[in-house]
Amino acid sequence: MSPLRFFLLVPLQSRVMLCGLVGVALVGVVQVSVVPAAGRDAALTLLLLQMFSASSGFVIPARRGHYDPILTGGASRSAVVASHCVLSIVPGVSAWLMLGLGEWLTGGHAVWSTGSAMALFLVSVGGWAGTVALPRLSGGVTWIVLMLACLSGPTAWRQGLLTAAAGGGAGEIRAAVYLVCPLVLAGRALGWQDVIALLPACGVIVGGALVAWRFLLRLDVTLEAAQ
């Protein structure tokens, strides 16, 4: 059995998560059909859920024997990791396309904006890479806690973050905000200054994904009992 078929038959997301993605997309379509300008709000909700959906985890289920049919079935480890990564991300992207189509039919453009596309890329790849060695959903939880921690600082600090989130302020502060909270990019058309500020975030996320990929290729999957 190919790794791609295996992960299609044994979904990486729970039924509750898959139903949640479809539900959020459908509610978003209804929302933009009533209020066309609500595309950004609908996109934010779906981005938040995608943080958790892409955080599927690999090491723990692999060491509990859940992936034995593909890890011992002759498939290359690269194919297993690639299939795991793609099918961790695809459900959220599919829901995103559903929402985007619904918004497009109403004449909106927030879901298809360059900022929304970059936010989807960052939360998807970052969520997967950050959770490969952790329990399912841990990457999304950690990311949310980090965002809340950044907003719990002094008033002047929070004001600076909010200014950066709106596309203003110093470039280095914007770069940090885009990395910690890519959700602020939703619905925005990115200018050159935003693109430059996004480069560090993209570098960190892509670099983290490459490290996670290499880690999984070298992983010695020693079976352990479920806790």
Amino acid identity at 215: F
pLDDT digits (tens, 9 = 90+) for 29-42: 999 988 888 889 99
d(CA 99, CA 43): 8
Q: Using the predicted structure, report yes or no on whether residue 223 has a pLDDT greater than 60.
A: no
Round to whole Å and give the CA distance between 188 and 10.
36
Sign of the C-alpha dihedral, residues 171, 108, 93, 127? positive
221: exposed, middle or buried (C-beta count within 10 Å: 0-12, 13-18, 19+)? middle
For 49-77, what is the mean pLDDT?
Answer: 90
Provide the 8-state DSSP code for 55. Answer: -
Dihedral sign computed on CA atoms, order 210, 200, 151, 21: negative
The answer to whether residue 98 scores a pLDDT higher than 70 is: yes
Looking at residue 156, its pLDDT comes to 64
What is the rounded distance in angstroms from the CA atom of residue 113 to the CA atom of residue 221?
A: 41
Predicted confidence (pLDDT) per residue in 106-143, tens digit: 888 899 999 999 999 999 999 999 999 999 999 999 99
Overall pTM surpassing 0.85 (yes/no):
yes
Residue 188 to residues 7, 116, 224, Cα–Cα distance (Å): 34, 7, 46
When mean pLDDT is compared across 17-21, 27-31, 64-68, 171-175, the lowest value belongs to: 171-175
Structure letter (DSSP) for residue 184: G
